[in-house]
Amino acid sequence: MDYQNSQEGALVRRAQSGDEAAFREIVERYQSKVFSIIHGIVRQRNDVEDIAQQVFAKVYFSIRNFDFRSSLITWIYKITVNECFDYLRKRKVRRLVYESDLSEDEVRRVENTEPPVDRQPAADVTLARRDYVVKLLARVSEEERNLLMLKEVEGRSVEELAQITGMNENTIKVKLFRARQKLVKAAQRLDRAPGLVAG
């Protein structure tokens, strides 16, 4: 049985025709997964629910465009990762705009009064590492980021990625290889000038 004719496919079609109960079922089925993905990428616990709400609002408004080429969760996964990086990009812009209005002394003072979770020192290696990876991932394309996240974070195989994207396995391997090369180069640049990127 293909995905479109599966039980979940029927649920999606109901949501596409405007059935609010079907949409509610989708939210309840995948909300934990979405919260987990966001928790993995974004550190600010206060913003996790806001991003999750935005993800499901996007799902609601674009479900009609869902074309069954991937599973629903893969589609939601992409939306979630994009929302997280969009959030991080906006936060960075907000911070840069705010800091551009301050003197150097004021910037230093503000940085020292931020909650400790926001300027994680090396003491918490896991958080520092996560910060570092997020900065690197922000430097590759959306497609490359999604492929890397699905492979490395979600643990999908090359075969599964080929099924999800409709590309052949060799294309997936080449795309992953190029994405990894870009990450390595970005890491080298970041290590040379760590002050250049503010998270």
**Binding of other proteins by 63 (CB under 8 A):** no
**Binding of other proteins by 40 (CB under 8 A):** yes
Judged by CB under 8 A, the number of residues near other proteins is 45
E strands within 19-172?
Answer: none
Structure tokens at 30: 């995948």
Stretch that binds other proteins, among 65-73, 85-93, 106-114, 147-155 (CB under 8 A): 147-155
CB contact at 8 A, 164 and 121: no
CB contact at 8 A, 198 and 95: yes
**Binding of other proteins by 53 (CB under 8 A):** yes
CB contact at 8 A, 183 and 176: no
Can you give the C-alpha Rg of the chain in angstroms?
19
**Binding of other proteins by 57 (CB under 8 A):** yes
Question: Residue 17 and residue 12: Cα distance in Å, rounded?
Answer: 9
Which listed residue (73, 79, 107, 133) binds other proteins by CB under 8 A? 133
Which listed residue (102, 177, 194, 198) binds other proteins by CB under 8 A? 177
**Binding of other proteins by 85 (CB under 8 A):** no
Which listed residue (2, 46, 61, 100) binds other proteins by CB under 8 A? 61
CB contact at 8 A, 59 and 26: yes
**Binding of other proteins by 148 (CB under 8 A):** yes
**Binding of other proteins by 129 (CB under 8 A):** yes
What stretch of H or E contains 27?
A: helix 20-41
The half-sphere exposure of 5 on its side-chain side, counting CA atoms within 13 A, is 2
The residues that touch other proteins, with contacts defined as CB under 8 A, are: 20, 24, 27-28, 31-32, 34-37, 39-41, 48-49, 52-54, 56-57, 60-61, 126, 129-130, 132-134, 136, 148-149, 151-153, 157-158, 173-174, 176-177, 180-181, 183-184, 187
